[in-house]
Structure 1
Amino acid sequence: MTTPTSCAYCQQRATQLCAGCRSVVYCSREHQKEHWKRGHKRECKCYEVTSNELLGRHLRATRDIRMGEQIMCEAPLVVGPKVAATPLCLGCHRNLLAPQKPAMTFYKCSSCSWPMCSKECEKSPFHLDECRLMAASNFQSKINYNPADPEGKESAYCVIMLLRCMQLKRSNPEAFARLAALEDHLKERIETPLYQVLRANLITFIKTVLGQRDWPELEILRIAAILDTNAFEVRQNGERRKVRAIFPGGAMIAHDCVPNLRHRFDDNMRIIFLAKRPIPKGAILSISYTQPLRSTVQRRVHLKQVKCFDCACERCSDPTELGTFAGAHLCGKCKVGKVISQNPLENAANWHCQLCNVKKSAREVLTQDARLQQEIESLDKTTPVHLEEFIQGHRIDLHDTNTHILQAKYALTQLYGTAPGYAMDELSEESLKRKVDLCEELLQISNLFDGGWSIFRGNLLIDLEEALVAQALRLQLASECESKLKRAEELLEEIKNIMKHEPEEMQQMLAERQQILNAAMAPFSVGVE
């Protein structure tokens, strides 16, 4: 597409390209502002909605996108508690069991008795409609604080998000239409045990107890399915929030196990999508609904169960998982070859050794994987000892980049430097080197699975930078110390770029890391102008 030469507002010759869509030009900043008011704000995007049989509706880049560029910022259409949640306020959505204020009782809404922060939150627009409905039906919440189970979750919250979506039909028909246009996968979900429970309990509560008899059962279940298919989990640790929300625009971004976007939430719970790497014009925009260190079988089973689709991305289609063999096991016969799937897009396909004639059924592999996953999840993760024993104990059957080994190694990068007895200044030379080596190894993996400006890669770089500084300060030779500190300085600059959109607590931590690095480098700056 050729660049236009006429101002989009006055049609005079112009050269100032719109930085957002890069499809129109202006003769001045004033005309750009006026054109924005006339409606260009709605059109100014670097993507378009398209569709195909495999992905359905999805977004595609209409121009080259820079690494770190913001793609979309969207307010939630509806927000509310997860299906099961620890007690939270239905006004501000904050956790009511904050560690620093372990309340034994809650303020309760004067009309419906749901737990709230205060009378001010009781009047929140989020809560008013559902409160009127419950009060009119004489329903009173029975949720109370249980000191014996401070982490206990209340299943009663499962009705709130559903009610908020239903009430949009009357209060905001346009918003309800946007909600109703989203994919639901109800056909696949309706016979599952979860939806049988919904039919037996939740539907009865809504139609009988709350008097919503005009709502057909299938329409209520379809809204529940839309939520399960499209809702994002919103975590704001600083605000003590862990809820879910619907973002119709964000819901159209495709999944890929090696995605090119990441997302975050601002203080107003708006979702913001950022490019993790340069994205060429025409590329499909994608995020990941799974964990990068999981194997293809684990990811595809999870996606099928939770999102009701079979992933066929490049990583899932490759029996070697981009050369990492994350799902493969070492062959028990030849001890060298790796046992891989004959067809990774078919979960029931047989597995075979690359070098000898050993074959395994999919059932054997899945059973072994489930056992290993259960083993690693049951380990005591308050110390590195048991994770190191896991890696050592499976050195014969699991290679260095098997998913279970990678998960153990990532946990170790977090424990070395933080676990009791393993604080950074307590680490032995061997343990400190182990932390550095683990970070280096996982960074190579992250470049394949979750590269660019990803949070996963950023966290690894933070651990590596801290470990390098600790190593440098123990060195006797000044030149070696300076060299290691300079590398740490380069890493910290990259970390700042990756994390520059993250919350204030992250910025404070990075500022502290900068102060420590500056102090460490001060002796080498003497005499430098």
Structure 2
Amino acid sequence: MGGEEGICEVCSSPAKLRCTGCKTSFYCTPEHQKQDWSHHKSTCRPWSIQESAPLGRYLISTRDLDKDDVIITEAPIAFGPALHSDQRVCVGCGDPKAVVRCPGCSWPACRLSCEGLLDENRHGVECKLLAKARIIPRCDILLPLRMVILKKKHPKRWEALSALQSHEESRGPGTEAHDEAEDVYQQLEPILQAFSIGQDVMSKICGLIDINGLETNPPEGSVGIYQTACLLEHQCLANTRHGFVLDSKGRPKIVVTALRPIKKGEHLSTTYTHVLWATRARREHLQATKYFSCRCERCKDPTELGSHLGALKCPCGVGVILPKDPLDSETEWSCDLCPGLLTAQEVVELTERLGEDVENVMASAKKETLGDLYSRLLVLLHPGHQHCIAVGHSLIQLLLPNDPRKLEICRRILETTSVLDPYGGRLALYTAVALRELSFCPGEARASHLTRALDLLRFEPAGSPGDNLKKLIKFEL
């Protein structure tokens, strides 16, 4: 397969012959490609696309994979600031440190020598359009604009993009999503009219972003849309992790790896929602933003795999109140040891009221107020409840090592993350913080906890909070 130029895997000469399987390895001749196959076959594309009525298009593994095997590496079809972001970023590369302005369109830029700013194929086209239309800089409209340009200038890339799900049938008049698309259309109206782009196309573009956009870091604050990685299906206990690196053109290339050994034929999955939200919150979020209801093993289990992330304490003093059918939002909640019952509405009202208390107290994050709130929560909630875990995680960072609460809460948090994120794919930093705090407690194996935390943080991007913690732990070790 021809295309862009690379380096031959065998002799390092300039090469244009690209592997049709993984599309990442280059060869200067067919002979060198054949010569390298015995080595390359173990890393060539390990996935295939399948399709079914309930799932749509999805990915399965085409061979057995080991933990940390690379599954997908690809550049985005499109990337830019998130639709809901008011962050000021560079129009050339997406860097949030935008301190100058583009000479052509006066939009924010990181520096006048930014490669993305000077690249005619990156910012060049949109620069002329923004300057001519005199649109006031508002970075959240950049990604929709770039997708409009794709539609007009790069039909093959637009075809790949538009094949992804956009759920326009659920985003019609009267919905918040429709109002948002209308707002973007009005902001870009001078350009869209010149391109003969109507409201229907903008609705599709906004749907493509909302359904498929992945937050990237680096660059922080950007969203990328990927042709293959966007086909990873949702599971509350996923089998892959993903991270981002900047490619030679400054685009956030996604790298998807196996979180654990994966068998041939197994579905490849990621998580679309927050791991430390209880079942009701996760399912409502997925229904509202991705338009489906999760029915995975965790969602079907009233105890959430034994974590009790949504469980309440029963007034009987010994029982735990759990939903009878977690997949039914109107289900009754009952004690596992006595006849006590609560309606779904009563549970929602209680957890939402406590959630507001948590949000207000966490804003100040003082040891006394956090400690008082944690004690109050334990009267009503299982100690593994998401509110207890959230407050406890902040509290352990303020407690002295010899405070017995510190040891107890650290262990509870680690029990929870070991069940809900056993391979550290989503909660690596969260778990590493708890491990470090536990290492300060008397009698604990400090070096062992810190070494485990360091292993969890090995995929954290450079300059991120996780990377900073990794450096601190290395110093402490």
Q: Could you say which TM-score interval applies, normalised by the shorter chain?
A: 0.7 to 0.9
Tell me, in whole angstroms, the C-alpha distance in 2 between the residues paired with 1:286 and 1:405: 28
User: Are the counterparts in 2 of residues 331 and 338 from structure 1 also a CA contact under 8 Å?
Assistant: yes
Q: 1:171 aligns with which of 153, 167, 180?
A: 153
Matches within 5 A, 1:503-522: 503-505=461-463, 510=470, 512-517=472-477
Query: In 2 relative to 1, CA 279–384 (structure 1 residues): closer, same or farther, beyond 3 Å?
Result: farther
User: Are the counterparts in 2 of residues 114 and 140 from structure 1 also a CA contact under 8 Å?
Assistant: no
Give the match for residue 429 of structure 1.
Answer: 402
Matches within 5 A, 1:73-88: 73-83=73-83, 84-88=85-89
Query: In 2 relative to 1, CA 198–404 (structure 1 residues): closer, same or farther, beyond 3 Å?
Result: closer
Tell me, in whole angstroms, the C-alpha distance in 2 between the residues paired with 1:490 and 1:67: 22
Query: In 2 relative to 1, CA 280–494 (structure 1 residues): closer, same or farther, beyond 3 Å?
Result: farther
1:319 Cα shift?
1.6
Give the match for residue 55 of structure 2.
Answer: 55
Tell me, in whole angstroms, the C-alpha distance in 2 between the residues paired with 1:491 and 1:31: 51
User: Are the counterparts in 2 of residues 436 and 464 from structure 1 also a CA contact under 8 Å?
Assistant: no
User: Are the counterparts in 2 of residues 80 and 245 from structure 1 also a CA contact under 8 Å?
Assistant: yes
Matches within 5 A, 1:236-275: 236=218, 241-268=220-247, 269-275=252-258
Which stretch shows the higher mean deviation, 288-297 or 196-205? 196-205
Q: Secondary structure at the match of 2:72?
A: strand
User: Are the counterparts in 1 of residues 217 and 461 from structure 2 also a CA contact under 8 Å?
Assistant: no
1:64 Cα shift?
2.4
Give the match for residue 409 of structure 1.
Answer: 392
Amino acid at match of 1:133: L
Query: In 2 relative to 1, CA 307–411 (structure 1 residues): closer, same or farther, beyond 3 Å?
Result: farther
TM-score (ref. length: structure 2): 0.83
Query: In 2 relative to 1, CA 312–193 (structure 1 residues): closer, same or farther, beyond 3 Å?
Result: same
User: Are the counterparts in 2 of residues 73 and 272 from structure 1 also a CA contact under 8 Å?
Assistant: yes
Amino acid at match of 1:401: G
RMSD: 3.0
Amino acid at match of 2:89: L
Tell me, in whole angstroms, the C-alpha distance in 1 between the residues paired with 2:432 and 2:72: 26
Give a deviation string over 1:241-286, Cα, whole Å, max 9, x none: 3111101211100111111111111133111112222223332211
Q: 2:97 aligned with 1:107, yes or no?
A: no
Which stretch shows the higher mean deviation, 157-166 or 447-456? 447-456
Q: 2:208 aligned with 1:229, yes or no?
A: no
Q: Secondary structure at the match of 2:395?
A: helix
1:369 Cα shift?
1.8
1:187 Cα shift?
1.1
1:437 Cα shift?
3.4
Q: 1:351 aligns with which of 333, 336, 344?
A: 333
1:376 Cα shift?
0.6
Give a deviation string over 1:324-381, Cα, whole Å, max 9, x none: 222121223x233222222211212232333333333222222222212111111144
Tell me, in whole angstroms, the C-alpha distance in 1 between the residues paired with 2:471 and 2:141: 43
1:496 Cα shift?
4.1
Query: In 2 relative to 1, CA 434–273 (structure 1 residues): closer, same or farther, beyond 3 Å?
Result: farther
Give a deviation string over 1:297-340, Cα, whole Å, max 9, x none: 011111111222111111011122112222121223x2332222
Tell me, in whole angstroms, the C-alpha distance in 2 between the residues paired with 1:159 and 1:318: 41
User: Are the counterparts in 2 of residues 443 and 457 from structure 1 also a CA contact under 8 Å?
Assistant: no
Tell me, in whole angstroms, the C-alpha distance in 1 between the residues paired with 2:211 and 2:331: 27
Give the match for residue 306 of structure 1.
Answer: 289
Query: In 2 relative to 1, CA 167–35 (structure 1 residues): closer, same or farther, beyond 3 Å?
Result: farther
User: Are the counterparts in 2 of residues 295 and 327 from structure 1 also a CA contact under 8 Å?
Assistant: yes
Tell me, in whole angstroms, the C-alpha distance in 2 between the residues paired with 1:136 and 1:389: 58
1:31 Cα shift?
7.1
Tell me, in whole angstroms, the C-alpha distance in 2 between the residues paired with 1:50 and 1:222: 23
Query: In 2 relative to 1, CA 32–471 (structure 1 residues): closer, same or farther, beyond 3 Å?
Result: farther
Tell me, in whole angstroms, the C-alpha distance in 2 between the residues paired with 1:509 and 1:341: 38
Name stretches of at least 5 consecutive residues in structure 2 with no aligned partner.
Answer: 1-20, 22-29
Tell me, in whole angstroms, the C-alpha distance in 1 between the residues paired with 2:107 and 2:42: 39
User: Are the counterparts in 1 of residues 164 and 208 from structure 2 also a CA contact under 8 Å?
Assistant: yes
Q: 2:99 aligned with 1:116, yes or no?
A: no
Query: In 2 relative to 1, CA 128–37 (structure 1 residues): closer, same or farther, beyond 3 Å?
Result: farther
1:185 Cα shift?
1.1
Give a deviation string over 1:169-216, Cα, whole Å, max 9, x none: 232222111100000111112235423423543323434465346223
Tell me, in whole angstroms, the C-alpha distance in 2 between the residues paired with 1:185 and 1:36: 43
Name stretches of at least 5 consecutive residues in structure 1 with no aligned partner.
Answer: 1-20, 22-29, 98-105, 144-155, 417-421, 473-479, 518-529
Q: 2:126 aligned with 1:130, yes or no?
A: yes
**Matched pairs, number:** 438
1:166 Cα shift?
1.3
User: Are the counterparts in 2 of residues 294 and 403 from structure 1 also a CA contact under 8 Å?
Assistant: yes
- How much identity, in percent, do the aligned residues show? 27
Query: In 2 relative to 1, CA 504–210 (structure 1 residues): closer, same or farther, beyond 3 Å?
Result: closer
Tell me, in whole angstroms, the C-alpha distance in 2 between the residues paired with 1:204 and 1:515: 53
Tell me, in whole angstroms, the C-alpha distance in 2 between the residues paired with 1:501 and 1:428: 28
Query: In 2 relative to 1, CA 512–282 (structure 1 residues): closer, same or farther, beyond 3 Å?
Result: same
User: Are the counterparts in 1 of residues 307 and 420 from structure 2 also a CA contact under 8 Å?
Assistant: no
Q: 2:197 aligned with 1:201, yes or no?
A: no
